[in-house]
Amino acid sequence: GESVGLHLPTLSVQEGDNSIINCAYSNSASDYFIWYKQESGKGPQFIIDIRSNMDKRQGQRVTVLLNKTVKHLSLQIAATQPGDSAVYFCAESRWAGTALIFGKGTTLSVSS
């Protein structure tokens, strides 16, 4: 069945380091991928997205990389800050308007 998973349940970094969070997906028909950040007691917050016709997209301090050959997605956070501490989920969908299938989440802890 469809599933999206993350390689590591937790990641601990020092403030100022670059963080890389990985995700493997299984549905080759997925067309759209998103990274969400979830802080304790809150709903998922959009970080960055990418379509399957791209392999890289950059935002402010964040970059998403998509490798369709090995069905791998990663989120890179530059100069990680304590405020980046949260659970990060990748999610996939087939096309616009369809269900997002979430992975299990990676808890990022940033120490100063």
Binding site for another protein (CB under 8 A): 32, 34, 36, 42-46, 49, 51, 89, 91, 93, 95-105
| Residue nearer to another protein on the CB measure, 20 or 100 | 100
| Residue nearer to another protein on the CB measure, 12 or 45 | 45
Q: Which of 26, 2, 4, 32 is nearest to 105 (CA)?
A: 4
Q: Which residues pair with 13 in a beta bridge?
A: 110
Nearest distance, CB of residue 112 and another protein, angstroms: 26
| Residue nearer to another protein on the CB measure, 15 or 65 | 65
Taking the CB of residue 30, how many other CB atoms lie within 10 A of it? 21
CA dihedral 68, 65, 74, 34 (to 10 degrees): -90
Nearest distance, CB of residue 16 and another protein, angstroms: 29
